[in-house]
Amino acid sequence: MSPSPLSIPVMMSVVVLILISLMPAQSSSSSPTLTITPRILKKSGDTVLIEWSNVSSPSNLDWLGIYSPPDSSHDCFIGYKFLNSSPSWASGSGSISLPLTNLRSKYSFRIFRWTQSEVDLTKLDQDHNPLPGTAHLLSQSNPLGFAAGRGPEQVHLAFTDEESEMRVMFLAEDAEKRYVRYGEEEEEMDEVAVARVERYERDDMCDAPANSSVGWRDPGWVFDGVIKGLKKGVRLEVIQKAGVRFIVLCHGMKTQMKP
Ligand SMILES: *[C@@H]1O[C@H](CO)[C@@H](O)[C@H](O)[C@H]1NC(C)=O
Ligand SMILES: *[C@@H]1O[C@H](CO)[C@@H](O)[C@H](O)[C@H]1NC(C)=O
């Protein structure tokens, strides 16, 4: 007896069913990934490497959103870059390096699919570019933070009303007592000015979005120390040393600030 002609189509349909049931598992293992290196930056201005892969059929409008705090809603990105700024974007993977300012809050990153047909010319940013669409999230990163205890940041020099004085202003993450130490030699920083410390709060902001939870940024603590007894006509220059100390150099006189 020859086999029934029906048995072949039945076997084929079993094969087709197995193939179909394998499909979802395969596509989930190739879902886009977004990773950051490192997860903790040492200081403000250091660079994070953001890498993505497995983005299928890349669009040249696919973009990377920068978020801080990390749980901000999709449309509250604080900056963005198109993935096509990476030379390998068309392959579905690539990387972008970004220097990040310490906002005293963590960051996170998300990549989105955006296509030409979704460009909405009625929603423009301040530079008159259409705001990128957030309808299709591809992937999001882990949060990124900054190492604690890295000392003063954003050091600025300013005048006071006295010719023989300079004001040294800087930011820190807490209100602990800090000093500006100065003297004529780097090894002899005998003069000390206690820095005054102040802070402003969200309630002090006069308008939205700065006075709302979305636009408010923790300013840190603002320190202010006054260097006295400077000679007339000195030129001051601030240089950063070992990431944590700032030296204020002037002709014939050096001052050093310690956290
Ligand atoms: C990308 O997808 C392939 C399968 O399509 C998988 O083997 C690979 O591990 C994925 N890569 C990442 C980084 O997830
Ligand atoms: C922010 O400031 C504006 C203008 O003063 C005010 O109308 C608004 O209520 C404020 N919002 C919050 C959350 O305080």
How far is ligand 1, taken at its centre, from the CA of residue 209, in Å? 41
Verify that 185 and 251 share a domain, yes or no: yes
How far is ligand 2, taken at its centre, from the CA of residue 179, in Å? 37
**Does residue 120 lie within any of the structural domains?**
yes
What domain count does the chain have? 2
Verify that 86 and 101 share a domain, yes or no: yes
How far is ligand 2, taken at its centre, from the CA of residue 210, in Å? 9
Judge whether residue 72 has pLDDT over 70: yes
In the block, tokens 């001052």 appear at 255
118-163 per-position pLDDT tens digit: 999 988 888 889 999 999 999 999 999 999 877 788 888 888 999 8
Which domain, by its residues, includes 179? 153-258
**Does residue 74 lie within any of the structural domains?**
yes
Among candidate residues 123, 146, 169, the one where a domain is terminated: 146
- Tell whether pTM > 0.85: no
Contact 229, 217 (CB under 8 A): no
256's CB contacts (< 8 A; 6+ apart) are: 181, 182, 183, 186, 189, 245, 246, 247, 248
Judge whether residue 62 has pLDDT over 70: yes
103's CB contacts (< 8 A; 6+ apart) are: 68, 217, 218
In the block, tokens 């006071």 appear at 160
- Can you read off the two tokens belonging to residue 105? 């809050």
How far is ligand 1, taken at its centre, from the CA of residue 95, in Å? 16
Verify that 163 and 244 share a domain, yes or no: yes
**Percent helix / strand / coil, the chain, rounded to 5:** 15, 40, 50
3-state secondary structure of 258: strand
Amino acid at 25: A
Where does the pLDDT of residue 256 fall: very low under 50, low under 70, confident under 90, or very high at 90 and above?
A: low
Amino acid at 65: G
Verify that 47 and 81 share a domain, yes or no: yes
Q: How far is CA 236 from the centre of its chain?
A: 31
Q: How far is CA 183 from the centre of its chain?
A: 36
Q: Quick one: what percent of the chain has pLDDT higher than 70? A: 75
Query: What is the structure's pLDDT at 127?
Result: 87
Choose which residue among 22, 26, 28, 29 to substitute to test ligand 1 binding: the one with the highest number of ligand atoms within 8 A of its C-beta: 29
Among candidate residues 91, 120, 146, the one where a domain is terminated: 146
Among candidate residues 111, 126, 146, the one where a domain is terminated: 146
Q: Whose CA is nearest to atom 6 of ligand 1?
A: 30
What's the rounded Cα separation, in Å, for the pair 62 and 32?
12
- Can you read off the two tokens belonging to residue 240? 């950063």
Q: How far is CA 241 from the centre of its chain?
A: 23
What's the rounded Cα separation, in Å, for the pair 127 and 123?
11
Q: Which of 39, 31, 210 is nearest to 109 (CA)?
A: 39
Query: What is the structure's pLDDT at 236?
Result: 63
Verify that 162 and 248 share a domain, yes or no: yes
